[in-house]
Amino acid sequence: MLVVTMSDIEELLRFKDKDTVFSNVLVADEIGLGIKRVYAGEWFLLDPALELSSFKINDNEVNFTVKDRIWKLSGVFVSAVSENVRLFSITSSERSSIIFTSSIESSIEAKINTLLKSIVSDPVKQWNPEARERFRNEVKISYKKDKNSVLFNYNNDYFFSIKIFPESTKIMIRQIQTNVFEVQFFLEGMLTSKEKFNVKVIYSFYEKDTLSDEDKEWNIAKSLVNVPKISSKSEDLKRLYYFAWASLLSNRVTLKNHKALPYSFTMPSKVGYRHQWLWDSAFHSIVLSNYDIKLAKEELMNLFINQKDDGRIPHEIFLTKELCKSIWGVDDYSPWTTQPPVIAVAVDRITSKEKDKKFMEIALNSLIKYDKWFRKFRDEDKDGLVAYHDPLESGWDNSKRWDAYVKKEKKYISEGMLPIEAVDLNSLIFVQRKVISSLARFFGNKELSEEYENLAVKIKDKIVNLMWDESTKFFFDIEDKTHNKTMVKTPAAFLTLFAKVATKGQANYLVEHLVNEKEFKRKLPLPTLSADDSNYDPMNFWRGPTWINLVWFTYNGLLNYGFKDVARDLANSVIEAMAKNTTCNEYYNSESGEPLGVRYFGWSTLITDIILRENDF
């Protein structure tokens, strides 16, 4: 029996090149002598969060040299030195707080003066001016000061506090511009030889004066002890495996009493995407099903309860209406779009492991309404194939798949492109209907089960006959109404393998494309655009890099058709790239394997599901 202890995991996950500490809805990033930035909730950004603006000994300015910096699951540890002075700090977390503690030690009797500084602002500096103006019209940040703390709030809804010790700290606040405040902390003290001067700063996030979760240790290491065990002699693989799990669990969020997000969920990345997204959560649920089936089910519940009356499950769920309104022009927690319907895949994974009748009933009713919505609102030509109406709805935001169809004057409040009947979308709808049929059969509803089985068969026939191009031996998206093929070659075609839609002959041809070095077998395989396309760019989002969710679909699709060796080669190439520097990024350069996009990215933890599957072989 494999036994893994907390100390084993701590030793594996010990780095000099990591720099991020997670709390419930806060994250501290780029820790040096202070903290570069803190993201809190949805509105507050501190940048810098805690900057050592000046340090004086006996009125002389002192500069420190950082000697060591270690990232562990328990926090980031920094040591620095200057003449006669040593500084030690740790940035760690509790459930609702980020905590910075520093100890300054002098070898001589000295008067110490320090000035720490924070800039508190809204996080919209990088937005276009129109969206920024809409945002700032919706949100006003204000503050009140106590003897050793500052409490910021916006619209009297959410609160962010900075509390500093010793309590004798002098605090000064000035407003730089609208919704931007500078907080200065002045500290001073006398030290005799070998004494220490201790500083502690606590950043906390509150919701309507209530802690968003109980203040208890955010102990990821303890959680990691319970993840499924793997047997491997490779330290790099084990390190990647546990780092991926740490990334996923660190992105978990609990917001008590939230109107739209009452259930715990997983942000795609607290350092980049701070809401709940539809297909992201489906992937998170799949991974969580290997760890805690309760969390896997919980991950989907906000999606179910936010389903609209017409049946649509929304693209994303914001923490506040204000941000949704400023970006999408919709006075709601969600925009008007949906996303790829991966939720049925997650439901199928969960129900294959546990027959929770209450959950299954909720899922069945929701999926039926969702499927009806697709038929009513995403099938304009009524041919039985459904279409995407916006690039963001597809999840493949800037893919070449949509170049010829994007409306020139695109606005988020209106549909962004002409309808495209996408091969991946319809493959997922096929899976969705098979799952509905299976759930209906479980509940003894034979008529409903047969109805959705027949709908699944019909859409499968349409995919096989209308989307397959005999001249190139490949599946393509097609235009709504005309059914002209777009002829843009992407790994969306490989979802026909995942869904078990492709014929055996078609599967053989698809694998030939997959292993072709001029197309999809690059140094890091499965770019989001075939490498023989003139627009192929291995670093440009959905126009060439490798994304782990598509690797997961393709890997499982290959296994469905018996291509075990090809699947293993794909898995090994991706695992090797991710394990090289122990990364779990949003996407990867398909030529070099370089990690790109945001770090600690949720659905890239699907690599753990692949590792577990490979471990079983």
Res. 4 pLDDT band, cuts 50 70 90: confident
CA 233 to chain CA centroid, Å, is 29
pLDDT, position 214:
45
Average pLDDT for 110-136: 84
In this structure, the answer to whether residues 23 and 147 fall within a common structural domain is: yes
- Residue 527 maps to which CATH number? 1.50.10.10
Q: pLDDT at position 96, please?
A: 85
Helix axes 278-288, 235-250, angle to 10 degrees: 130
- % pLDDT > 70, the chain: 96
The percentage of the chain sitting over the pLDDT mark of 90, rounded to a whole number, equals 78
What one-character-per-residue DSSP string does 435-488 give? HHHHHHHHTT-HHHHHHHHHHHHHHHHHHHHHSEETTTTEE--EETTT--B---
Residue 519, amino acid = E
Residue 178 has pLDDT above 80, yes or no: yes
Mean pLDDT, residues 433-444 taken together:
98
- Residue 543, token pair as written in the block: 């126009």
Residue 125: is its pLDDT beyond 70?
A: no
- Whether the per-residue pLDDT at 216 is higher than 50: the answer is no
- Encode pLDDT of 220-242 as tens digits: 767 898 899 999 999 999 999 99
Domain boundary among 211, 239, 256: 211
Mean pLDDT of the residues in the chain? 92
Q: Is residue 170 part of a domain?
A: yes
In a domain, 180, yes or no: yes
Domain end, chosen from 155, 182, 211, is at 211
Is 216 exposed, middle or buried, given 0-12, 13-18 or 19+ CB atoms closer than 10 A? exposed
* Cα 553 to Cα 608: distance, rounded to the nearest angstrom: 14
| Backbone φ, ψ for residue 301 (5° rounding) | -65, -35
Q: Is residue 415 part of a domain?
A: yes
Residues 177 and 268 in one domain: no
pTM: 0.96
Mean pLDDT, rounded, for 68-83: 94
Residues 162 and 258 in one domain: no
In a domain, 430, yes or no: yes
* Domain contains 193: yes
Specify the number of domains making up the chain. 2
- The more confident residue out of 143 and 41 is 143
Phi, psi of 423 (to 5 degrees): -70, -40
Same domain, 202 and 232: no
pLDDT band, residue 129 (cuts 50/70/90): confident
Residues 505, 488: Cα–Cα separation, whole Å: 21
The answer, yes or no, to whether residue 478 has pLDDT greater than 80, is yes
Does 480 have pLDDT greater than 90?
yes
**Parallel, antiparallel, or unpaired: how do β-strands 149-154 and 180-191 relate?**
unpaired
What pLDDT is attached to residue 147?
87
- Poorest-confidence range of 12-26, 158-172, 185-199, 433-447? 185-199
What phi and psi, each to the nearest 5 degrees, are found at residue 107?
-90, -5
The pLDDT of residue 217 is 45
121, part of any domain: yes
Three-state DSSP state, 89? strand
Arithmetic mean of pLDDT, 268-275:
94
Statement to judge: residues 370 and 454 lie in one domain? yes
| In contact, 406 and 391? CB cutoff 8 Å | yes
Q: pLDDT digit string (tens) for 485-514?
A: 999 999 999 999 999 999 999 999 999 999
Same domain? For 234 and 198 the reply is no
Cis bond leading into 525, ω under 30°?
Answer: no
* CATH code for the domain in which residue 176 is found: 2.70.98.50
Supply the range of the domain harboring residue 173: 18-211
The answer to whether residue 349 scores a pLDDT higher than 50 is yes
| Amino acid 212: pLDDT | 43
Domain contains 12: no
Residues 361 and 509 in one domain: yes
Across 60-69, 158-167, 553-562, the highest mean pLDDT is recorded for 553-562
Mean pLDDT of 282-291: 98
Of the three residues 211, 244, 273, the one that is the final residue of a domain is 211
* Helices 293-305 and 343-353, packing angle to 10 deg: 140
Are both 298 and 329 inside the same structural domain?
yes
If asked whether residues 366 and 425 sit together in one domain, one would say: yes
**CB-count exposure of residue 59 (10 Å: 0-12, 13-18, 19+):** exposed
Residue 2 forms part of a structural domain:
no
Whether the per-residue pLDDT at 247 is higher than 90: the answer is yes
- Residues 77 and 148 reside in one and the same domain: yes
One domain, residues 383 and 260: yes
| One domain, residues 36 and 142 | yes
